[in-house]
Amino acid sequence: MAPGRPPAPSPGSAPRAPAGRPGQATRRRPTRAEAECVWTIRRGDVRAHRRWAIRTFALTYAAVTLRLWMFVMSAVQIGAGTDPEVAFDRAYHVVPFLCWVPNLLVAQWLLTRPDPTPTARPR
């Protein structure tokens, strides 16, 4: 092996991206919501684009919501006297649903509520 070069991957392992270059995280396929968001704005349908952008944000923000729910659910159980490992395991079974379902419900509520701003009437 030459100095300064990373070792070759072992047989059967996935190749690694060199340091400083995009890795697997940047090579994912877009979600359906992201694709709809792009297609609608390319068609010029701003209203539909806005609706899909809100849904996309709700689904993307699930990563943050997951961590918040894990903290809350674990802390409440530990505060009630549950062993920390048991509390984490219990929370881990419920939190994957709690991280995106409420987000989508709030997004849908935002999309279906009456418009709070009055529209200007033409004269």
> In Å, what is the CA distance from 95 to each residue of 27, 69, 88?
27, 6, 10
Q: Cα(104)–Cα(110) distance, rounded to whole angstroms?
A: 10
Question: Domain spans of the chain?
Answer: 31-112
Q: List, for residues 15-45, the tens digit of each pLDDT value.
A: 555 555 555 455 567 777 788 888 898 999 8
Cα 66 to chain centroid distance, Å, stands at 9
Report the predicted TM-score, pTM, of the whole model to 2 decimal places: 0.60
Q: List, for residues 68-116, the tens digit of each pLDDT value.
A: 999 999 999 999 998 989 988 888 888 888 888 999 999 999 999 887 6
State the residue for tokens 């849908």. 108
